[in-house]
Structure 1
């Protein structure tokens, strides 16, 4: 049965990608584009992923390290200077000719 009619992706293809380590809808999308066009299949993909065991998730639960490239970038600490040298939530100066503050 088709899960993603935009790209012709079947339930079996989603399961195959999940067995290869794609454990989230975003990872499935990276593997085969399913869910990246109209988005109508994302909930179906979530349901399929929720039913089976994810080999990578099982390894993580057992304490195995994530594969290279899977690291999540560290977020700035609270109160750290954000975009354009402003504090998070502050409105940057949009006056014509205004330059962002130096960090």
Structure 2
């Protein structure tokens, strides 16, 4: 069954792209152009992807050193500058 009539993209193709890691309609569009012309298929693509289809994303700062401010000096593990 066709999901995107503009580019002839089938439901099977959308599911294959999803299995390969595309989690959003935008990512599907970058793979096969579905949803980039008239846009009438975007909701259908969303329903195919469903909720929870994407792996949870890590918070943006996870794995990075946390910078703290102390007395106006940013610390990243270094000693704070002596106050004058």
TM more than 0.5: yes
Structure 1 residue runs of 5 or longer lacking an equivalent are 66-103
Structure in which a larger fraction of residues adopt strand? 2
Structure 2-normalised TM-score? 0.63
**Bigger relative contact order, structure 1 or 2, given CA contacts below 8 A and separation 6+?**
2
Q: How many residue pairs were aligned?
A: 60
Structure in which a larger fraction of residues adopt helix? 1
Structure 2 residue runs of 5 or longer lacking an equivalent are 61-84
Structure 1-normalised TM-score? 0.52
How far residue 7 of structure 1 moved from its aligned partner, in angstroms, is 0.3
Moved over 2 A (4+): 57-60
CA RMSD of aligned residues (A): 2.0
- In the alignment, which residue of structure 1 is the partner of 2:40? 40
User: Rg: which structure is higher?
Assistant: 2
